[in-house]
Amino acid sequence: MTDPGTPGLAARLRRTLADRLVRTGALRAPAWRAAVESVERETFLGSAVARATEHGDRWEVIRLAEMTADEWLELVYRDETWVTQIDGEMVTDACGVVYGAPTSSSTLPGLVVRMLEAARISEGDKVLEIGTGTGYSTALMCHRLGSAAVTSVEYDPAVAGHACDALARAGYTPTLVTGDGLAGYDKNAEYDRLIATCSVRYIPLPWLWQVRDGGTITAPLSGWMYGAAFAHLTLGGDGTASGRFLEDDVYFMTARPHGPPPMAVPYLGIGDRRSSRVDPRVMDCPAGLFVGQLAVPSAMKLGGGGEVVLLDVATGSQATTRPDPYGGWTVRQHGPLRLWDAVEEAVLAWQAAGSPHQSAYGLTVTEERQYVWLGEPDGPSWNLPA
């Protein structure tokens, strides 16, 4: 016999979740609170989810069938990210422990709501969402704006299929598109707000073309070192977009075509040797990592602490730092790009500004160039790999 669970428990858990999100500061607008209290997250999670284990690449699958209905609801309404797809395989088709990298998830509600608040979405807005995922964030927007105002694009056909079923079951009818969201969706343009729930290395130009003048693009920016910043750009009347990064620390999985290529560069550990002008451990903190990544956007980073290895996928250039026995660090650089010279320059500019959070930086996007600036648009700047 199916376990019916405790009547009213889901609604109670939704209220508790909303209270918690208000307390943590994620949730401010009463209209988003009403959405959180109304949208049933269980509809979007399906019958199995996965959670991280202490081994980064192993995921424990948790199935509804293995617990009571009440236990499942308690899990659903935790403010946690639940992974729903790993290496392209839906978690509903798996059991036990699964190896791989998450490729889709239901982001923790606190972060979803913080993004919606940060994007300043409100009644009357027409929104394009990139990364439908389970459809939970899409449903929150449909609740507040009405389904006709919401368009959402999902890259993965299996994920898109599940979201489409779930949204229909929940009674929402947004425009759902299966395809590469980096191309946007011009049939419903122009949009007032574009919001991405996957991170990008640079802002795809179609997004600029499909958002109206004065509209906004809210997207997590990341790169191949996984340094992150949260962009909130306003479209100027001249075809450009610009804005300072937000103070929220958000991290989202990388948009599929923007992920790093396979690490095909052999690590040689050779090259010209000199003393480093900066402590390589600065890249252990989120802001320092973001700054280092700005300087060498096609490099990947291995190691940490004083022992950093940078490998540039485009040129095979590399840099290796080592602590010296009596203090300081030595760097060896090899190849056409002096990776550590570039990192040092960016880190020294950051340190001269007081080692601020990423929100001290901003991003300007034009048809020709995308650049991150420190302080003001005419301050020190670094080009994104657009």
C-alpha distances (whole Å) from 13 to each of 63, 74, 210, 235, 299 are: 19, 7, 38, 39, 44
Q: Is 80 in the site for ligand SAM (CB under 6 A)?
A: no
Min dist. Cβ of residue 303 to ligand SAM (A): 27
Dump strand ranges (E) for 186-284. Answer: 191-196, 211-221, 229-235, 241-244, 272-275
Site string for ligand SAM, 328-367 (x = CB under 6 A): ----------------------------------------
Nearest to ligand SAM of 127, 337 (CB atom) = 127
Q: Is 156 in the site for ligand SAM (CB under 6 A)?
A: yes
Min dist. Cβ of residue 119 to ligand SAM (A): 13
> How far apart are the C-alpha atoms of 197 and 195, rounded to whole Å?
7
Distance from chain centroid for Cα 142: 21
The secondary structure of 111-144 as a DSSP string is HHHHHHHHTT--TT--EEEE--TTSHHHHHHHHH
Min dist. Cβ of residue 86 to ligand SAM (A): 12
221-246 exposure pattern, b = at least 16 Cβ within 10 A, e = fewer? bbbbbbbbbbbbbebeeeebbbbbbb
Q: Is 112 in the site for ligand SAM (CB under 6 A)?
A: yes
Of 216, 247, 199, the residue nearest 360 (C-alpha): 247
Site string for ligand SAM, 158-177 (x = CB under 6 A): -x------------------
Which two structure tokens, joined as six digits, stand for 270? 């050779």
Residues in the interface with ligand SAM (CB under 6 A) total 27
C-alpha distances (whole Å) from 132 to each of 37, 129, 139, 275 are: 20, 7, 10, 48
Find the binding residues for ligand SAM in span 115-154 (CB under 6 A). Answer: 130-131, 133-134, 136-137, 153-154
Q: Could you give phi then psi for residue 245, rounded to 5 degrees?
A: -70, 150
Q: Is 198 in the site for ligand SAM (CB under 6 A)?
A: yes
> Which secondary structure element, helix H or strand E, spans residue 300, and what is its range?
strand 299-304
Q: Is 105 in the site for ligand SAM (CB under 6 A)?
A: yes
Nearest to ligand SAM of 75, 339 (CB atom) = 75
Dihedral sign, CA of 84, 86, 89, 94? negative
C-alpha distances (whole Å) from 307 to each of 201, 285, 315, 347 are: 25, 15, 21, 17
Nearest to ligand SAM of 105, 381 (CB atom) = 105
Query: Which of these ranges, 46-54, 98-106, 116-124, 371-379, lies near ligand SAM under the rule CB under 6 A?
Result: 98-106
Nearest to ligand SAM of 155, 340 (CB atom) = 155
Min dist. Cβ of residue 306 to ligand SAM (A): 33
Contact 117, 32 (CB under 8 A): yes
Which two structure tokens, joined as six digits, stand for 32? 């988003």
Q: Is 181 in the site for ligand SAM (CB under 6 A)?
A: yes
Task: Choose, from 104, 152, 298, 381, the residue flagged as catalytic.
Answer: 104
Residue linked to tokens 């009674």: 171
Nearest to ligand SAM of 179, 269 (CB atom) = 179
Q: Is 253 in the site for ligand SAM (CB under 6 A)?
A: yes
Near ligand SAM by CB under 6 A: residue from 13, 76, 91, 107: 107
Q: Let me know if 275 is a catalytic residue.
A: no
Contacting positions for ligand SAM (CB under 6 A): 103-107, 112, 130-131, 133-134, 136-137, 153-156, 159, 180-182, 197-198, 252-253, 255-257
Catalytic residue numbers, as ranges: 104
